[in-house]
Amino acid sequence: MVMGLIFVALGLIAVAVGIAGFRGRRSAHRTGIKLPATVVSERKTVNRQGGHSYFATVRFKAPDGSAMEQASRWGNNKSRLGQSVDVWYTPGKPVWLDSSSSASGTWVAAATGLVFVAVGVALASGHLHR
């Protein structure tokens, strides 16, 4: 029962992260301006299985001509250090890198969360045994 509730809680968190990412990206595309940028640094994280995520910091010129530098909140599975990328910029909000992997990451988080919720419900109701 407790294990099932833990799975449900973790699943709901993952679903919330996925939905927040999807909504933020959609909002950036609706209200933002697509601008060219350069990845000037990256923060690399490694998960327990040895997989890597790279969180880029980009430099770009805002529409008013001022130089901007911002870190992306979403990681990518490939290093893009020194590469040119497109960003969606909305003044006062974090930039979104225009990347198919960040878009798919939001869907993966939500889908994984739904699987955790389903397993958690099955565990909590006694349909699955440890």
Kindly report the CA angle at 77 between 73 and 81, in degrees rounded to 5? Answer: 75
- State the pairing for strand pair 52-61/33-46: antiparallel
Residue 123: other Cβ atoms inside 10 A = 20
Mean pLDDT of the region 29-46 = 89
pTM of the model: 0.60
For residues 89 and 60, is the Cβ–Cβ distance under 8 A?
yes
pLDDT of 44 = 93
* pLDDT higher than threshold 60 for residue 100: no
pLDDT of 104 = 60
DSSP 13-62: HHHHHHHHHHHHHHHHHHH-EEEEEEEEEEEEEE-TTS-EEEEEEEEEE-
Question: What are the pLDDT digits (tens) for 1-19?
Answer: 888 888 888 888 888 877 7
Question: What are the pLDDT digits (tens) for 38-76?
Answer: 999 999 999 888 888 898 999 999 999 999 998 887 788
Domain boundaries, the chain: 2-124
Q: What's the rounded Cα separation, in Å, for the pair 119 and 11?
A: 9
pLDDT of 61 = 94
